[in-house]
Structure 1
Amino acid sequence: MPALEFFKDKERGVLDPRVFERAREVAERLARGGLKSSQFRNYFAELRALENRFERERKGDEALAFARLVPQLELLKAKLFYNTRPQGPLRNAREFVAFMEEALEAGKRSPKDFEAMMKYVEAVLAYFYAFGEGGGRK
């Protein structure tokens, strides 16, 4: 599978609308896989906190702020994998872990990719709520 790409025109910051089609497909698979909304929400909250810190720090030096962000994204990926251990909360959510790993890898490429990754993950979460636990749209 090719690497996750977000842009139609990266230089000008134009997102490819197919990213949101892909978000919907991923969300449908996650909803069918039995992932709990609280599990998804927890990781999204961590990402949002990283995004907020990055936004504050980038005002001074974007390159330095991004250099500090990348290891934090790696740490989040490590936490995901840790939680797939036999007694872990994500032991039956390998599809979610694969989705997050792919998104995090793509988000580490550049500040623009990180911003686009956040929109992508947010779209997956929104669709997940529509399709998931009590969302009704199956």
Structure 2
Amino acid sequence: MAELVFFQDRTKELLDPTVFARAEQLAQEIAQEGKVKSSQFRNYFAELRALENRFLKERRHDPDKAFRRLVPELELLKAKLAYNTRSNGPLKGATTFVNFLNEAIDAGKRSPEDFLAMMKYVEAVLAYFYAHGR
């Protein structure tokens, strides 16, 4: 699978518009798979949003430290995601959703800019997920 890239021009932090087309396609696939509930998706997004809010607050004081603290929290979220895919877990069979979140989180760990772009991407997937009837 190709690396998830958010920027058309990284130096200018200009997002690639195709990111949102990918978000819509992915949301359709997640909805069609039918293995993730909207509340489950919202819960992961809420956790990401809380991490984003803390990161933005801490970044004002020490940007490097804020990102160094963020990355392990993202890894912990991936661990929770993995735990929920166990044989009797709530995300059992939600392969498309789990792969999407793992790929997005990995991309978000590359840099502070990638993390903020990842948040927009995940938000777009969630919005399209709702638009497609879930």
CA distance in 2: counterparts of 1:53 and 1:33, whole angstroms: 33
SS in 1 for 2:8: strand
**Correspondence for 2:27:** 27
Higher helix fraction: Structure 1 or Structure 2?
A: 2
CA distance in 1: counterparts of 2:10 and 2:63, whole angstroms: 17
Structure 1 consecutive aligned stretches of length 4 or more whose deviation exceeds 4 Å: none
**Correspondence for 1:69:** 70
1:92 deviates by 1.9
The CA deviation string for residues 94-113 of structure 1, in whole angstroms up to 9 with x for no partner, is 11100000000000000000
Range 87-96 or range 102-111, more displaced:
87-96
One-letter code of the match for 1:44?
F
Instruction: Flag structure 1 segments of 5+ consecutive residues without an equivalent.
Output: 134-138
SS in 2 for 1:11: helix
Instruction: Flag structure 2 segments of 5+ consecutive residues without an equivalent.
Output: none
**Correspondence for 2:127:** 126
**Correspondence for 2:11:** 11
CA distance in 2: counterparts of 1:77 and 1:62, whole angstroms: 23
CA distance in 2: counterparts of 1:32 and 1:92, whole angstroms: 12
CA distance in 2: counterparts of 1:94 and 1:20, whole angstroms: 21
CA contact (8 A) 1:37 1:132 kept: no
User: RMSD in angstroms over aligned alpha carbons?
Assistant: 0.6
One-letter code of the match for 1:7?
F
1:37 deviates by 0.4
One-letter code of the match for 2:76?
L
* Length-normalised TM-score, structure 1: 0.95
The CA deviation string for residues 7-58 of structure 1, in whole angstroms up to 9 with x for no partner, is 0001111000000000000000001011210010000000000000001100
**Correspondence for 1:42:** 43
